[in-house]
Amino acid sequence: MAFEKVKRSEDYSQWYNNIVNNADLAEHSAVRGCMVIKPYGYAIWEKMQQELDRKFKETGHSNAYFPLFVPKSLFEAEETNAEGFAKECAVVTHYRLINDPKNKGKLIIDPDARLEEELIVRPTSEAIIWSTYKNWIQSYRDLPILINQWANVVRWEMRTRLFLRTTEFLWQEGHTAHSTEQEAIEETLQMLDVYANFAQNFMAIPVIKGVKTANERFAGAIDTYCIEGMMQDGKALQMGTSHFLGQNFAKAFDVKFANKLGNQELVWATSWGVSTRLMGALIMAHSDDDGLVLPPKLAPIHVVIIPIYRNEEEFNKVTEIALKVKLELEGKSLSVKFDNRDTHKPGFKFAEWELKGVPVRIAIGPRDVENGSVEVVRRDNKEKQIMNMADLANKINHLLEAIQDNIYLKANTFLDNNIRPADTWEEFIELLDAKGGFVSAHWDGTSETEELIKEQTKATIRCVPLQNKLEEGSCIFSGKPSVQRVLFARSY
Amino acid sequence: MAFEKVKRSEDYSQWYNNIVNNADLAEHSAVRGCMVIKPYGYAIWEKMQQELDRKFKETGHSNAYFPLFVPKSLFEAEETNAEGFAKECAVVTHYRLINDPKNKGKLIIDPDARLEEELIVRPTSEAIIWSTYKNWIQSYRDLPILINQWANVVRWEMRTRLFLRTTEFLWQEGHTAHSTEQEAIEETLQMLDVYANFAQNFMAIPVIKGVKTANERFAGAIDTYCIEGMMQDGKALQMGTSHFLGQNFAKAFDVKFANKLGNQELVWATSWGVSTRLMGALIMAHSDDDGLVLPPKLAPIHVVIIPIYRNEEEFNKVTEIALKVKLELEGKSLSVKFDNRDTHKPGFKFAEWELKGVPVRIAIGPRDVENGSVEVVRRDNKEKQIMNMADLANKINHLLEAIQDNIYLKANTFLDNNIRPADTWEEFIELLDAKGGFVSAHWDGTSETEELIKEQTKATIRCVPLQNKLEEGSCIFSGKPSVQRVLFARSY
């Protein structure tokens, strides 16, 4: 195992791919644009799922499951949504294969098994879900409906990158139905907060909460709220979205309820989702030139113990203590790996577990055994310390908390340092090219200007931050009057 | 809410459909053959998943995720497997929709976006996974690979029933790779035991472990092991399968490893799965004419508390105690619902929660408050008792254990009473028609005989039980010599 190391500063994109590959997180599959999520990568995703699921249930949501396929006629019903996703839809047209009469052992589509109506593999589930909600909702007593689903979705992508943009990806999608506009908007914002808190407290990634412009809105939404993170190369990454859908889907599927007065009203909707894209954010936000750096709260393995020995006698002595330490740490709910492979030297193991981002490494040698101490190295800043064995589990727990905090603080400082104002077009271009990051600038509020800026700079408006300060100014591009600054960035 | 009640004895099939619908477990969707799993049904499935996932990890397996799609050329590679599933494959042929020029607002397939190679929506994942394992396995050091995936799969079904047989269903599929035949067989049997223990200890359904005949084997397997349950209408239900795949997939995908001597050998494989079909088993095994009966270990709600009152004063008094009880029970990890709806009478609530199978109902009225007691009714046998409030949580926990045991014992007695020997063809037919259940009979071991019996009676060989007693006899159908009895039944 000789890993090709590439520095972030040399080739950020290759650095990212190497970490995904070398840390055994995911790989490209035999299916164009689809990935295999490997066990170590999936274990991190499971940790994310667990915590998000807990938060969804805490806020009153239940899980359910809706079909993978959407009949074309339902898919078409909400026209803006359909148009937005039409160009990236995988379509099932047949339901049977038969033996190829010309080619023994090969199969061909059975021409007699053509579907009367094509089925779309869900790119998102509003259509199938709202066609179902129609039957569930008669009266205000049936509302709200607060449902989430964990599922796979497919959006045909021409240029894919592991985790960041794949044809099939895993996600959760919340779909809620409400009797009032206000309640739906509150739900939209509540879930945005759930996402922001998760990003900050678990992924250790500070995010900016904001609302998308019309150009960047989810197809079919009235408003799309988002959390935006900043990666180490100065590019923004949209990490989650929460949509206020107004009555668009209720209109498309004729979903009405009788209010308390007995009058029929259209139902209000939200939807919100995060995906395996978060894995990409996690990798890019914290990792360094030696590999993955994981916040302890999402690390499948918190501590790796590596024995140092020259002969079997020493190995046995060290193993005894290592197993004791392992047991003690596991007693405090820590996940511990004792790497006793005799096929690899300690130095190799150190590098491998650094690559995999295990937050704490403990090395135990014969001298440590004599001294009643162990050598502890934290992954985030590589600091080494000798720890007395007494009360070790508590000390390690404190250390893990310190690591979680430090990773967050580092990312937060980075974010703070990468939001810069620009007041002229030249300054704007120069900041984007020389520094990257978010550029806070005035914009005249029109889609045309936004488009032109994107064409000329590849930067998009990431969001209008929530509680944005109103401030009179002139649009960076058109010079027309503007009432507030918005955040531009190049992005993933 | 006026539920149509149908007795098991009158129309078993309608009785089943009514429970699925009325207990809010699942419903048919707008997509032919696909179901919507509703929140209450999904909560039961989540409980199953949790426990199975725990058992898989305990036995050394990790979760991962492989693509939804299988390119046709990979799908074809293992010919027996491909042939077995070909006639039920959903096929993706296009990746884009465009506006219908003749029909504003409608979409059609873009004829220019035809895939060069069709993609099969996975009916099972051996092909895509073994084409991936090929790159993961070089040496004996890379083995075993012990991976499970939770996923949706699609098998085009002409006649569907909620949970029991649907075009899309949810399942887990384990796929393991081993260096020796023996290790692979041990894995196959270990996972069969995991399933059997889960069925018995969590679902409270006793099962028979056995091996399938060649006719009933998984396409591509050397041996298919199964657990078979007995439903209340005397039909068998296959609840889980564990396959020893030999080297079939290794051959198809050329997956070899260097053994300790440096020689190349083909890898040995297993796969094993259970699906949302288990929901059907759970419903059919225990429920009664009043609705669902859930074993406490899989019940999303353990206890429902229903207040009995005539006026607001009484309601407040009762509510105070109800909330105290709720808190105390929740402190013992019980899931408790306090049904304080003022829109429904207690009798209605009793019936509704019976329908939903909540194991324990507590009613609290003003007199109970005065007496410091509550009325407790168990769902399984409807027994009512007055319980003193002192130490209530422990008493309820004991009661739940007793319910779990009782449900299992009842099902076990039913199973025992429904395995009957037949020694003549007439007896065989009569038993199948009059009693149903498993019929233990001699069989000559040929597929031809098995086929003919199936044609004439609709009964199949459910399995050859593990550790089957060898016993000389004559085939029930052909009269030819037989070395053992096998279990026949009509089945789902």
Instruction: Give the Å distances, CA to CA, from B80 to A374, B86, B273.
Output: 56, 10, 19
Q: Residues A287, A288, A289, A290: is their CA dihedral positive or negative?
A: negative
Tell me whether residues B69 and A34 touch, CB distance under 8 A.
yes
Contacts of B91 in chain A (CB under 8 A): 92-97, 109
What is the per-residue pLDDT across A49-67, written as a single tens digit (0 to 9) for each? 999 999 999 999 999 999 9
User: Is residue A231 classed as helix, strand or coil in its secondary structure?
Assistant: coil
Q: Average pLDDT, whole number, for chain A?
A: 97
- pLDDT band, very low/low/confident/very high, at B5 (cuts 50, 70, 90): confident
Q: CB–CB of A464/A225 below 8 Å?
A: no
Q: CB–CB of B23/B15 below 8 Å?
A: no
Tell me whether residues A132 and B29 touch, CB distance under 8 A.
yes
The one-letter code for the residue type at A424 is: T
**Domain residue spans of chain A:** 12-70+128-286, 301-406, 419-489
Measured distance CA(B474)–CA(B423) in Å, rounded: 8
Tell me whether residues B31 and A65 touch, CB distance under 8 A.
no
Q: What's the whole-number mean pLDDT along residues A69-82? A: 96
Contacts of B66 in chain A (CB under 8 A): 29, 36
Q: CB–CB of A94/B91 below 8 Å?
A: yes
What is the per-residue pLDDT across A309-362, written as a single tens digit (0 to 9) for each? 999 999 999 999 999 999 999 999 999 999 999 999 999 999 999 999 999 999
In 3D space, the residue among B216, B218, B214, B211 whose CA is nearest the CA of residue B185 turns out to be B211
pLDDT of residue B1: 47
Tell me whether residues B89 and A69 touch, CB distance under 8 A.
no
Name the DSSP class of A491.
B
Peptide bond into A71 cis (omega under 30): no
Q: CB–CB of A274/A239 below 8 Å?
A: yes
Name the DSSP class of A85.
H
User: Judging by DSSP bridges, how do beta strands A145-154 and A62-63 pair with one another?
Assistant: parallel
Measured distance CA(A447)–CA(A468) in Å, rounded: 19
Tell me whether residues A89 and B95 touch, CB distance under 8 A.
yes
Q: CB–CB of B268/B209 below 8 Å?
A: no
Q: CB–CB of A393/A328 below 8 Å?
A: yes
Measured distance CA(A8)–CA(A196) in Å, rounded: 26
For B34, which residue in chain A has the nearest alpha carbon? A67
Q: Say which of A34, A72, A132 has its CB closest to residue B36.
A: A132
DSSP-derived secondary structure for B358-371: -SEEEEE-HHHHHH
Tell me whether residues A93 and B87 touch, CB distance under 8 A.
no
Residue B409 pLDDT exceeds 60: yes
Share of chain B above pLDDT 90, in %: 98
Within A112-247, residue ranges assigned H as helices are 126-136, 181-201
In 3D space, the residue among B205, B170, B158, B155 whose CA is nearest the CA of residue B41 turns out to be B170
Residue B406 pLDDT exceeds 60: yes
Residue A279 pLDDT exceeds 80: yes
Tell me whether residues A170 and B89 touch, CB distance under 8 A.
no
pLDDT of residue A5: 81
Looking at CA atoms only, how far is residue B82 from chain A in angstroms?
8
Chain-centroid distance, C-alpha B183:
26
Q: Say how many CB pairs under 8 Å bridge A and B.
A: 186
Give me the CATH topology for the region B12-286: BirA Bifunctional Protein; domain 2 (3.30.930)
The one-letter code for the residue type at A280 is: G
pLDDT of residue B109: 97
- pLDDT band, very low/low/confident/very high, at B3 (cuts 50, 70, 90): low
pLDDT of residue A53: 98
The one-letter code for the residue type at B74 is: L
Q: Say which of B88, B118, B343 has its CB closest to residue A109.
A: B118
Looking at CA atoms only, how far is residue A69 from chain B in angstroms?
7
Tell me whether residues A29 and B65 touch, CB distance under 8 A.
no
Q: What's the whole-number mean pLDDT along residues A262-275? A: 98
pLDDT of residue B2: 53
Measured distance CA(B174)–CA(B189) in Å, rounded: 13
What is the per-residue pLDDT across A123-143, written as a single tens digit (0 to 9) for each? 999 999 999 999 999 999 999
For B65, which residue in chain A has the nearest alpha carbon? A37
Looking at CA atoms only, how far is residue B69 from chain A in angstroms?
7
Residue B393 pLDDT exceeds 70: yes
Tokens read off for B300: 């999303």
Tell me whether residues A86 and B97 touch, CB distance under 8 A.
yes
A419-489, which class in CATH?
Answer: alpha beta
Looking at CA atoms only, how far is residue A349 from chain B in angstroms?
16
Q: What's the whole-number mean pLDDT along residues B268-291? A: 98
Question: For B357, phi and psi rounded to 5 degrees?
Answer: 75, 20
What is the per-residue pLDDT across A446-470, written as a single tens digit (0 to 9) for each? 999 999 999 999 999 999 999 999 9
Chain-centroid distance, C-alpha B42:
13
Contacts of B65 in chain A (CB under 8 A): 36-37, 42, 170
Question: For B372, phi and psi rounded to 5 degrees?
Answer: 65, 35
pLDDT of residue B413: 98
User: What CATH number belongs to A12-70+128-286?
Assistant: 3.30.930.10
What is the per-residue pLDDT across A367-380, written as a single tens digit (0 to 9) for each? 999 999 999 999 99
Tell me whether residues A96 and B86 touch, CB distance under 8 A.
yes
What is the per-residue pLDDT across A411-420, written as a single tens digit (0 to 9) for each? 999 999 999 9
Q: Where are the beta strands (DSSP E) in A85-217?
A: 91-94, 97-99, 107-109, 114-121, 145-154, 168-178, 208-211
Q: Say which of A29, A76, A93 has its CB closest to residue B106.
A: A76
Q: Where are the beta strands (DSSP E) in B231-388?
A: 236-246, 256-258, 264-266, 268-275, 303-307, 336-338, 360-364, 373-378, 384-388
Question: For A233, phi and psi rounded to 5 degrees?
Answer: -90, 10
Contacts of B64 in chain A (CB under 8 A): 36-39, 42
Tell me whether residues B65 and A36 touch, CB distance under 8 A.
yes
Residue A1 pLDDT exceeds 60: no
Beta bridge partners of A63: A148
Contacts of A34 in chain B (CB under 8 A): 67-69
What is the per-residue pLDDT across B368-384, written as a single tens digit (0 to 9) for each? 999 999 999 999 999 99
Looking at domain A301-406, which CATH architecture does it have? 3-Layer(aba) Sandwich (3.40)
Contacts of B97 in chain A (CB under 8 A): 72, 86-87, 89, 91, 120
Name the DSSP class of B65.
B
Looking at CA atoms only, how far is residue A266 from chain B in angstroms?
21
Looking at CA atoms only, how far is residue B474 from chain A in angstroms?
39
Share of chain A above pLDDT 90, in %: 98
Peptide bond into A206 cis (omega under 30): no
**B445: phi > 0 → left, psi -120 to 50 → alpha, else beta; which?**
left
User: Judging by DSSP bridges, how do beta strands B303-307 and B336-338 pair with one another?
Assistant: parallel
Tell me whether residues B42 and A64 touch, CB distance under 8 A.
yes
Give me the CATH topology for the region B421-489: Translation Initiation Factor IF3 (3.30.110)
Q: How many CB atoms lie within 10 A of CB A375?
A: 17
* Cβ neighbours of residue A360 closer than 8 Å, sequence gap 6 or more: A296, A302, A303, A304, A376, A377, A378, A379, A396, A399, A400, A403
Q: CB–CB of B223/B244 below 8 Å?
A: yes
Contacts of B114 in chain A (CB under 8 A): none
Measured distance CA(A96)–CA(A90) in Å, rounded: 17
**ipTM > 0.90?**
yes
How many Å from the N-terminal Cα to the C-terminal Cα in chain B?
Answer: 31
